[in-house]
Amino acid sequence: MTTSPLLHPGRPRLIVLEGIDLSGRTTQVELLRDWLEAQCFSITTTAWRTSPLISDVLARARAGTPLQPLAYSLLYCADHIDRTQRVIKPALERGEIVIADRYTYTAFAREAARGLDTAWVRNLYRFSVQPDAVYYLHISPEEAVERRRLLQHQRQSQALVSSVSHGQKDGKHKGEKDGKKHKHKRRQENTRPLLSTVVLSSPQLSQEALESFRLFEKKMYSEYQQMQKEFGFTVIEGNQPIEQVQDALRSIVIQLLSTM
């Protein structure tokens, strides 16, 4: 693909990718970033839950002491405000294109799915930067469950392999993007690989986890469907090969970047 002469690299934009879990957002954001950078655009990406302020709080909450719904939603909001101040706004001021892997709509969908009051949640995010475009990667909740089932299978076989080889690289499948930060944590996990193997390979437990995952994704899905019109999401069908999704995304992004 060649650079369109109509592109205006000077203008800052905020592009958002949304979608339920396992819709392929993160993969698509990375591919899009690489492609746009190859076209000499300056790109900054930002992802949900990555503020250093709260990442360890949330990690702890997921590991042991669970947080209550209100506290949880407020920490997500703190993450968003912090990234807005430190990442999103400065990048836009430098004239860059910011690609956000999840944005406020994730909070809207998530908190509504958890039963919190919509008006209360939306007020929290009232001072967010207005995105130039929101691309919604559409997959059905059934597709999400199917992808999760496949992932679980992979993890189980990986865990089995790693328990045989004494848990080497237990955290490998968790993705390389947060590899450095969790180095010491990974070491801890390695000291007791058998435990995680037991948990993962218990068919009953994984069945339960899968069922609660299905119910939650279903709720998230219906929230996203409702928001589609309200916020004018551009829908991209996510249930097709990665390259095709990326092609669809690129052609829409080109359109966006060629308008003033």
Partner 1 sequence: MYYAALALAIRIDQQFEERLNNIVASAGIKEEHAPVCTDTGTQAASSTSLLMQPHNYPGRLIAAEGLDGSGKSTQLRLLQFWLQAEGYDVLLTGWTPSKLIRRALKTARKQDQVDPMLLSVLHAADFAGLYERDILPALQRGIIVLADRYVYTALARDLARGVERTWVENLYRFAVRPDLGIYFQISAEQSLERILSDHPRLKYYQAGMDMGLSLDPVASFYEFQQRILLEYERLVEVYALLRLDALLLIKQQQHLLREAVSKALPSKL
The least CB distance from residue 229 to partner 1, in Å, is 22
- 38-67 binders of partner 1 (CB under 8 A): 52-54, 56-57, 60, 67
Judge residue 209's burial from the number of C-beta atoms within 10 Å of its C-beta, 0-12 exposed, 13-18 middle, 19 or more buried: middle
Contact 21, 106 (CB under 8 A): no
Is the alpha carbon torsion for 26, 8, 132, 135 positive or negative? Answer: negative
The least CB distance from residue 64 to partner 1, in Å, is 12
Query: What are the backbone dihedrals phi and psi of residue 120, each rounded to the nearest 5 degrees, phi first?
Result: -65, -45
Contact 197, 160 (CB under 8 A): yes
Distance CA 145, CA 230 (A): 27
- Closer of 83 and 155 to partner 1 (Cβ): 83
Choose the stretch contacting partner 1; rule: CB under 8 A; options: 20-28, 82-90, 178-186, 187-195.
82-90
Choose the stretch contacting partner 1; rule: CB under 8 A; options: 77-85, 130-138, 157-165, 248-256.
77-85
Residue of 2, 68, 204, 259 that binds partner 1 (CB under 8 A):
68
- Closer of 117 and 208 to partner 1 (Cβ): 117
81 Cβ neighbours under 8 A, 6+ residues apart? none
Per-residue burial over 3-29, b if 16 or more Cβ lie within 10 Å, else e, is eeeebeeeebbbbbbbbbbbbbbbebb
Per-residue binding string, partner 1, 112-141, x by CB under 8 A, is: --xxxx-xxx-xx-xx--------------
The least CB distance from residue 81 to partner 1, in Å, is 5
- 179-208 binders of partner 1 (CB under 8 A): none
Residue type, 132: D
The least CB distance from residue 121 to partner 1, in Å, is 8
95 in contact with partner 1 (CB under 8 A):
no
Residue of 7, 27, 42, 82 that binds partner 1 (CB under 8 A):
82
Plot region of 169 (φ>0 → left; ψ -120 to 50 → alpha; else → beta): left
Residues that bind partner 1 (CB under 8 A): 52-54, 56-57, 60, 67-71, 74-75, 77-78, 81-82, 85-86, 114-117, 119-121, 123-124, 126-127
